[in-house]
Amino acid sequence: MATNIAPTTIVNELLRKDNYATWSACIRNYLLAQDLWDVVESPTNPPQLEEDEASFKSWRKKNAAALHVIQVSCSPEILGHIKGFDLANSAWDTLASMLQPRVEVYDIAAQEAQRQQFHQFLPLSKAIGKGDLNAVKDIIRSNPYVKHARNPNNGMTALHLAIYAGHGEIAEELMQGMTTGDLEVQDSSGYTYLCLAALTGDVKVAKSLVEKNGGLLYIANSEGFIPLVMACARSQIDVTHYLYSTTPIEFLFPENGFHGNELLVYAIMSKMFDIALDLVLICPRLVLASSSPRHNTMLTLSRIPSVFYSSSQLVFWQRWIYPVISVQSTPSVRAYVPWNGHGMQQLHGLVSHFLEFIGIKQLYDAKLIHVQVLQLLQCMCKQVSMLYGKELKDRGIIIAINEAVRQGVTEIIVEMIRVYPDIIGAKTSDAEEIFISAIVYRQENIFNLIYGLDSRKYSVFTGVDSLNNTMLHMAGMLAPFSQLTRLSGAALQMQRELQWFKEVESLISPTFKETRNQNGETPSELFTRSHKQLLTEGEKWMKDTATSFTVVGALIITIMFAAAFSVPGGNNQEIGLPIFINEKSFKVFIISDAVALFASSTSVLMFLGILTSRDFLVSLPRKLIIGLSSLFFSIAAMMLAFCAALMIMMNGQLYLVVPIILLASVPVTLFILLQFPLLVEIFISTYGSIFKRKMKRWL
């Protein structure tokens, strides 16, 4: 910081926020030397002109001189606070109140009282920490008032500590004899006993507290969170349901603050969709109660794609079972009904464990969430349909839609378009429309919705952004890293990028294929420039993969070629034919050897062809599929030939043959298991289109 030098010799430095002590001492001494300090120090009223003109003029001169000294010794920042003052005394006092270091005066008696209170609290605190109920009872019996003592560091009482430590029995003991006022005690962070019970998820303690003092439901902590919202924010499911059943629903309405909106947001984040749905059904206004990102319910929902069916990753057998699972409606969440009955609970537990073991329970739970989320979304969209124009942006709906596109949440886009069809052309981000954003984020599920639109889809194809980029330009840009990494290997990533470009190219008008953006680039030129590095990495990946598999194929060729001329058992010296030529095992050996040789030769030729090809869309993946399939086939045939040779050599001694075959199969099996997923991925990526052109009309 540069030092401010005064334009006079009064002080060495102008007054700043950090040098008041030095400055005030210098100014005081100067004013004393100039016989001006009495004007600054005296709190009495100045003499009146009518009463004593000479005294008044003398005072006025001294006051002006003292005020001038003070003002010219201040930095511009400080001068702004006193430049309008007429009295030197007022200016001096104002600067002192602003800049004089505060000297805290400690109350020795209060400190001593706190110290004694802490010493009384310490043994009880240790007993609670150990969970020793008997010791707690003894301490309270000897000093009943100790349970009201506080820890001076955090303001906690013994009951705070017991609830926070999860000792419910001790908490119940401490609650005995407490009045309703005693139960409303808050620690230094504003936490009541019920707040801590909500945080720790202790339903029993929470129930006891509410029964003794229902007013605890309304007392918030220093951050403004009531116990219900705190429990939901901590994902304490049981205590959240209990507190939701006891908190009057009217208290959660928007006119009573943000409690209801906060509960709705945290219920969505904690995946308590039964509470969220119940809230929205009772008070739909909560959906749009706030436009801030923290309280934006639609934005919160769009950031959790895993709760939607479109984002669920179901295996084939789960896709068969999912449609036939019947989801029962859950009981009202406003009526808290704890589970009772030990025998029925055991039976329910056995059935639940069995269904969980076979995977049905997880599938049922997933579908229940999907159904609840869809119902919640439909209720929310009904509220959004009441908005118009600029309100969509002001209420954060446009941001939520853009997030839904980025996350690939199809359900949100579908429901929003159904209740608000004009949103198809709405700008979500950077002047991009919904389906253009879907191309940018490479969300094929969102993009496929185009095929189910009515005639309005043609307006989508002609859309451009603020930089004159068409849909094809967007497809020519490099995909986000998170989308690229969904595929293994740069070659498959390059193939997927080409598939996107070709698909969009087939939809737009030919006149847009050569349109130039503001940078003067056509879509093809933009694609080439933005994918230059990925192309290089893809070529390297393909060549390295082909080279590795070529080595394996060449090794199999060498072994199988040599095995054909050194047959097991040798040849008959008289006629030159193999000794075991008439054995079935020998015929299996010869056929397997020939198949392995031909298959491995085919794979090697395919891999060599990869080294000279550059077509990532079809040619390269097809050669890799043929090469890998032939290699796997040759490995299987080689193992069969090995087994047949062992059978011939060991003359049917299975107790030796079988263990040898099993041991020899381990490395080969591991190789196939490790590489087979790659073959499947390449096949699906090449021949299984991600675009659904035959999608049914949905709008």
Average pLDDT over residues 470-499: 93
pLDDT band at 430 (very low <50, low <70, confident <90, very high): low
Q: Which of 598, 571, 473 is nearest to 526 (CA)?
A: 473
pLDDT attached to residue 4: 42
The dihedral built from the CA positions of residue 12, 18, 20 and 21, taken in this order, carries a sign that is negative
| Residue 429 backbone phi and psi in degrees, to 5 | -160, 140
Fold of the domain built from segment(s) 111-307: 1.25.40
Q: What angle do CA 63, 69, 73 make, to 5 degrees?
A: 145
Phi/psi-derived region of residue 5, left when phi > 0, alpha when psi is between -120 and 50, beta in every other case = beta
Q: What is the pLDDT of residues 294-333, one digit of tens each?
A: 788 999 999 999 999 998 888 788 888 888 888 876 556 6
Looking at residue 396, its pLDDT comes to 86
Q: What is the CA radius of gyration of the chain?
A: 40
Distance CA 168, CA 654 (A): 66
3-state secondary structure of 186: coil
More confident site: 98 or 196: 196
Res 440: pLDDT: 93
| Predicted local distance difference test score (pLDDT) of residue 30 | 87
Break the chain into its structural domains and give their ranges: 20-99, 111-307, 430-530, 538-687
Whole-number Å distance between alpha carbons of 431 and 439? 14
pLDDT-derived band at 339, boundaries 50, 70, 90: very low
CB count in 10 Å sphere of residue 463: 20
pLDDT at 405 over 70: yes
Instruction: Give mean pLDDT, residues 413-442.
Output: 84
Most confident of 366-380, 556-570, 580-594: 366-380
pLDDT band for position 345 (cuts 50, 70, 90): very low
Share of the chain above pLDDT 90, in %: 43
Distance in angstroms (rounded) separating the CA atoms of residues 10 and 70: 10
pLDDT at 623: 94
Q: Look at residues 582, 585, 562 and name the one whose alpha carbon lies nearest to residue 657.
A: 585
Q: What is the pLDDT of residue 579?
A: 65
pLDDT at position 342 over 50: no
Rounded to an integer, the average pLDDT of 28-33 is: 86
How far is it, in rounded angstroms, from Cα 299 to Cα 305? Answer: 11
Domain formed by 430-530, architecture: Alpha Horseshoe (1.25)
pLDDT at position 468: 84
The residue among 430 and 400 whose pLDDT is bigger is: 400
Q: What is the pLDDT of residues 542-569, one digit of tens each?
A: 999 999 999 999 999 998 888 877 776 6
CA–CA dist 365, 237 (Å, integer): 15
d(CA 514, CA 87): 77
Does the pLDDT at position 499 exceed 90?
Answer: yes
If you ran DSSP here, which 8-state letter would residue 452 be given?
G
Name the CA dihedral angle for 186, 190, 195, 199, rounded to a multiple of 10 degrees: -130
Give 102's pLDDT tier (boundaries 50, 70, 90): low
Return the pLDDT at 460. Answer: 78
DSSP letter assigned to residue 217: G
Q: Is the pLDDT of residue 346 over 90?
A: no
pLDDT tier, 244 (very low <50, low <70, confident <90, very high otherwise):
very high
Q: What is the pLDDT of residue 664?
A: 77
What is residue 331's predicted lDDT score, i.e. its pLDDT? 54
Topology agreement, domain 111-307 and domain 430-530: yes
Mean pLDDT on 334-355: 51
Pick the range with the lowest mean pLDDT from 410-414, 459-463, 497-501, 534-538.
459-463
The confidence score (pLDDT) of residue 260 equals: 94
What is the mean predicted confidence (pLDDT) over 674-690? 90
Opening angle at CA 542, ends 537 and 544, nearest 5: 90
pLDDT tens-digit readout, 116-129:
666 777 888 899 99
Q: For 66-90, what is each residue's pLDDT tens digit? A: 888 888 888 887 887 788 788 888 8
Per residue in 605-627, pLDDT tens?
A: 999 999 888 889 999 999 999 99
Predicted confidence (pLDDT) at residue 48 exceeds the cutoff of 80 = no
Q: In this predicted model, which residue has the larger pLDDT, 51 or 675?
A: 675
Q: Is the pLDDT of residue 45 over 90?
A: no
In the chain, the amino acid numbered 593 is D
Identify whether the C-beta of residue 304 lies closer than 8 Å to the C-beta of residue 269. yes
Residue 344 confidence (pLDDT) above 70: no
End-to-end C-alpha distance for the chain, whole angstroms:
65
pLDDT of residue 285 exceeding 90, the answer is yes
Query: Is the predicted pLDDT of residue 149 greater than 70, yes or no?
Result: yes
Instruction: Kindly tell me if the per-residue pLDDT of 340 is higher than 50.
Output: no
pLDDT at 1 over 50: no
Q: What is the mean pLDDT of the chain?
A: 85
Amino acid at 655: Y
- Per-residue pLDDT, 254: 92
What's residue 403's pLDDT? 93
Mean pLDDT, residues 338-345: 45
